[in-house]
Amino acid sequence: MYCSKRHVVMLCPKLHAQPKICEQNTTEKHCENNKEVNNSFISNDITTLLQTLVVKVSNGKQEKKIRILLDSGSQRTYIKRELAEDLGLQVTGNENLSHSLFSGVKKPAKMHKVFKFRVSSLDDKFHTTMTALEQDVLCGSLPKVQDPKLIENLRRHQIWLTDAAESIKDISILIGSDQLGCIIKENFIRLDDNLVAIPTKLGWTLQGPVQGSKLERVRRRNKLLQYPMEVFSSSSSLVGRVVGANDKGEMGVQEQLELKQLQEKR
């Protein structure tokens, strides 16, 4: 007997109920798989902020507001050639060096001009003199804080982000580990499990993941698997492009319409 009760095995109710249990387990497993897939899409809605600020840089006579990146993964500090030329910065020397990039790629040695300049906070409460190596391109586009709720939450902590208040997009100076020590302050503030607000002598900056805006989520979804993703490598001070070709014409009609509508609302 199948269940130790007095009836024919083929008439046992437990025997016929067994396939339903298997079917239920299969359904639950399918749901779990769907959750994993959904979670992978949710993770693509997350934007990871790097330590960016807006400061003032000067040659002693001329001054300009620029956007900078604090990068502890870079051994040296770099300045964009375009900025050095615009300000007519003083050349203090030359260095011949090669860059070891993310994934072990090593670029041939190249001569770099060394420039000297003054960096100050927007409120002029702090200033310091720095030297940096000349570089044509420092990195690709880096995200800014755009969530009004997050900005309001920061203000309640008496934190004002220079990078959020200014519209400058390009990174003109990358401050590496050789000069980070002179501007970093103590006592960062943890905003959640992964997002932290970091005080520096040049102002506050954020580091960590935040929920992307609706416009960013549409763009990210359109790029998923088919379009290039920009991944910043702190060890290389460059942006690596992976997967496919950036062809807006390949975007679906519905996605293009949705993207256009969101852009018009901004």
Same domain flag for 108 and 166? yes
Question: Which CATH number characterizes residue 203's domain?
Answer: 2.40.70.10
Extract the residue ranges of the chain whose pLDDT is less than 50: 1, 10, 19-23, 26-27, 30-31, 35-42, 215, 223-255
The answer to whether position 225 is within a domain reads: yes
The answer to whether position 15 is within a domain reads: no
Same domain flag for 60 and 150? yes
Owner of token pair 């959020």: 164
Same domain flag for 142 and 255? no
Q: Cα separation of 157 and 238, whole Å?
A: 33
Number of separate domains in the chain: 2
Same domain flag for 170 and 247? no
Pairing of strands 196-200, 203-211: antiparallel
Amino acid 11: pLDDT: 55
Q: Which of 254, 228, 130, 145 is nearest to 183 (CA)?
A: 130
The answer to whether position 33 is within a domain reads: no
Domain closes at, from 189, 211, 233: 211
Amino acid 262: pLDDT: 58
Element (H, E) at 120: strand 110-120
Amino acid 244: pLDDT: 32
Amino acid 123: pLDDT: 95
Same domain flag for 237 and 194? no
Same domain flag for 203 and 252? no
Amino acid 243: pLDDT: 32
Element (H, E) at 90: strand 90-97
Q: Cα separation of 57 and 131, whole Å?
A: 12
- Give the number of residues written for the chain: 266
pTM (two decimals): 0.66
Same domain flag for 83 and 143? yes
Same domain flag for 143 and 236? no
Ordered alpha helix ranges (H), the chain: 13-43, 81-87, 148-156, 162-165, 177-180, 214-223, 253-265
- 119: tokens are 């960096």
User: Range of 81's domain?
Assistant: 48-211
